[in-house]
């Protein structure tokens, strides 16, 4: 067995640039620092991230969630726009754990690429830090993986992990929802981070000018608008009145997410004329020839979060959420489920 002793290979020769990774860590430190909050022990750079749960919780229950951004990333690559997908990443996880009553405490990210582009990666992680600020949680750590040959040039993948806490006695699981309760719909900021395989298919068929004016903005910017983060207004609402259930409208759209908080004997009746579907969804439906039922199963159609409260609390909840800057509509009610009936009906 022979070897060529004149060859001297480095990790950089294999496609991994340790210096670029170090430069990224230094570039993101100030943005991560802005997300620090009570409970964080130490900063970015250790092997593990330490967090002390606040003594304000008598019986803290940890709630965790993980998600990605999906094929919305393919649109980001096409548009060379990397500053908003980090907000999407945070939103998808913190909104999920919020619906069980949890306050997001900290967040970790995983960024994987074939070759690390420090400016683009910095944009992404600045977005993650911005999302953490909006959610009130700390960007406590993460992982950047440079893996030559695993991803096409210029592409990367993202995963995010959120951990929150809720008082055991205050977990929201939908068990108190009953007939007569009302469903409030909080407006979405767009398609959020769901249904983008269909969005991209519609774009490939319609071939629109993504830089053209679309109701006062570029169509590209409307398509890339980051997922709305509902954490702060809904935590405030939970502290003032009883919230019986919350539903983050993600994959599965309106019809498949609402049943996740309903007991088997209940049905949510949603009224399609109770809110105006934003122009983006009208455009997608028209240019894709998408049926109403498919729209309701794939997209949020303008409602990013549903909040279920008693009839007595509906006006107060609506007023408080509007005062916090949310757009709110009464979109439906809960009733007894009939035999063979779906648990979400859109009329």
Q: Indicate which CATH number applies to the domain containing 225.
A: 3.90.650.10
- Domain boundary pick from 170, 202, 221: 170
DSSP 282-330: HHHHHHHT--HHHHHHH--TTEEEEEEE-HHHHHHHHHHHHHTT--EEE
Residues 99 and 208 occupy one common structural domain: no
Domain that holds residue 68: 18-170
Residues 203 and 82 occupy one common structural domain: no
Residue with tokens 């809110």: 275
Residues 232 and 83 occupy one common structural domain: no
Q: Is residue 118 in a domain? A: yes
Q: Is residue 211 in a domain? A: yes
Residues 76 and 151 occupy one common structural domain: yes
Q: Is residue 150 in a domain? A: yes
Starting at the edge strand found earlier in the chain, the sheet holding 182-187 runs: 245-248, 303-309, 182-187, 328-336, 266-270, 344-346
Q: Is residue 5 in a domain? A: no
CATH number at 26 reads: 3.30.1330.10
- Domain boundary pick from 106, 141, 170: 170
- 39, with CB counted inside 10 A (0-12, 13-18, 19+), is middle
- Give the Cα separation of 221 and 232 in Å (integer): 25
How do the pLDDT tens digits run along the chain, 347 residues long? 555 557 777 767 777 777 777 777 777 787 778 788 888 887 666 788 889 999 999 999 999 999 999 999 999 999 999 999 999 999 999 999 999 999 999 999 999 999 989 889 999 999 999 999 999 999 998 888 989 989 998 899 999 999 999 999 999 999 999 999 999 999 999 999 999 999 999 999 999 999 999 999 999 999 999 999 999 999 999 999 999 999 999 988 888 999 999 999 999 999 999 999 999 999 999 999 999 989 999 999 999 999 999 999 999 999 999 999 999 999 999 999 999 898 988 88
Split into its structural domains, the chain has a count of 2
Residues 208 and 67 occupy one common structural domain: no
Residues 201 and 250 occupy one common structural domain: yes
């Amino acid at each position: 067995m022979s070897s060529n002793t004149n060859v001297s290979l480095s990790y950089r020769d294999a496609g991994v640039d340790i210096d670029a990774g170090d430069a990224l860590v230094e570039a993101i430190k100030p943005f991560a620092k802005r997300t620090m909050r009570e409970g964080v022990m130490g900063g970015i750079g250790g092997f593990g991230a330490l967090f002390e749960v606040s003594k304000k919780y008598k019986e803290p229950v940890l709630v965790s969630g993980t998600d990605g951004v999906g094929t919305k990333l393919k649109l980001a690559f096409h548009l060379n726009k990397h500053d908003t997908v980090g907000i999407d990443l945070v939103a998808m996880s913190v909104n999920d754990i919020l619906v069980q009553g949890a306050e997001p405490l900290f967040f970790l990210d995983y960024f994987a690429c074939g070759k690390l582009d420090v400016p683009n990666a910095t944009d992404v992680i600045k977005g993650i830090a911005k999302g953490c600020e909006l959610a009130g949680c700390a960007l406590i750590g993460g992982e950047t993986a440079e893996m030559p040959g695993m991803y096409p040039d210029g592409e990367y993948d993202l995963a995010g992990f959120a951990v929150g806490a809720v008082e055991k006695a205050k977990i929201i699981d939908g068990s108190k929802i009953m007939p007569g309760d009302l469903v409030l719909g909080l407006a979405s900021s767009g398609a959020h981070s769901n249904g983008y395989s269909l969005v991209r298919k519609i774009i490939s068929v319609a071939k629109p000018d993504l830089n053209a004016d679309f109701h006062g903005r570029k169509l590209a910017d409307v398509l890339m608008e980051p997922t709305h983060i509902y954490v702060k207004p809904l935590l405030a609402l939970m502290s003032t009145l009883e919230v019986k259930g919350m539903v983050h409208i993600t994959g599965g759209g309106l019809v498949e997410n609402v049943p996740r908080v309903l007991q088997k004997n209940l049905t949510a009746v949603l009224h399609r004329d109770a809110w105006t579907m934003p122009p983006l969804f009208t455009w997608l439906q028209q240019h894709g020839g998408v049926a109403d039922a498919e729209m309701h199963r794939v997209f949020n159609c303008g409602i990013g979060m549903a909040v279920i409260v008693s009839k007595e609390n509906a006006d107060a909840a609506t007023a408080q959420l509007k005062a916090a800057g949310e757009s709110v509509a009464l979109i439906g009610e809960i009733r007894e489920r009939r035999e063979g009936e779906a648990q979400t009906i859109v009329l």
